Chains A and B, each alone.
Chain A
C-alpha cells in the first residue's frame, strides 16, 4: 500500500452524522483522489485534486466534501446529505502524467 495511509480502517456512523476519513501520503505526489467502491460496481471517482488548494468534483460528489490544505493530506468528509454512504472508500495518489495511481488500504464505512 506504499506510502499512503488511510484512517480509520473501519468507521461506523449514525444517520445524520458527518464523518471525516483521513488520507495521508509521503510520496510527494501532486495529484490525489477519492474513490468509492461498491460490490459489482467497480470504483467511482468522488473528488480529485491536482495541487494544493485546488480540487474538482468527480462523478459522484454529491454528499461529500474535501479539502487540500497540504500536499500530503486529502481528507474526505461524508456528510448527512449522502443518502447511502455505506461503502469501501479508497484514496489514491499519482506522481505525474505517465504514472499509475497508488492506493491506500481503504476505509470501510458503515451507517448504523
Chain B
C-alpha cells in the first residue's frame, strides 16, 4: 500500500533563511510525487511534481524538491523563506499502476517569522 510520511508537524524558520519540509514515501514501483500548499480555509494549490527525469524539480513561488530514490524521500526546499510562505504543506504520492490514487501526508505547518 502507498503511504507518505511528513515527520514534522511544524517547521519554524526566519525570513530570509533556507527552508526544508521533509517527506518520505512508500510505494510499489516508481512513484509520481507532488507537493501542494494550503492557506487557511482554502483549497490546495499545486506547487510541483516529480514524474521522471531530473531529480531536482523546480516549481512555483521559488520552491524546489529533490527526489531521492534510495532514501525514498522528496523534500521540499526554498533558498530564502518569505513570511508569505507560512501555510500548510502537503506531500502526496501516486502509484503508476491502476487508478493511480493520490495518497497524502498529514501535512506540515510552515511558520516563517519576520
Contacts and interface: CB of A to CB of B under 8 A. Distances in A.
B43 A108 contact: no
B49 A41 contact: no
A103 interface: yes
Nearest to A104: B43
- Size class of A's contact patch? 20 to 34
A41 to B, nearest CB: 6
Chain A interface helix/strand/loop/mixed: strand
Given A1-B43, A43-B104, A102-B46, A48 B90 contact: no
Interface stretch (B14-22, B71-79, B95-103): B95-103
A97 B100 contact: yes
Interface residues of B, number: 21
A75 to B, nearest CB: 17
Nearest to A41: B106
Nearest to A88: B41
A43 B90 contact: yes
Given A42-B106, A106-B41, A106-B43, A100 B49 contact: yes
Give the 4 A-B residue pairs with the shortest CB-CB distance, closest first.
Answer: A103-B43, A42-B104, A103-B44, A42-B106
Interface of A: 1, 4, 6, 33, 40-43, 45, 48, 50, 56, 58, 88, 90, 92, 97-98, 100-106, 108
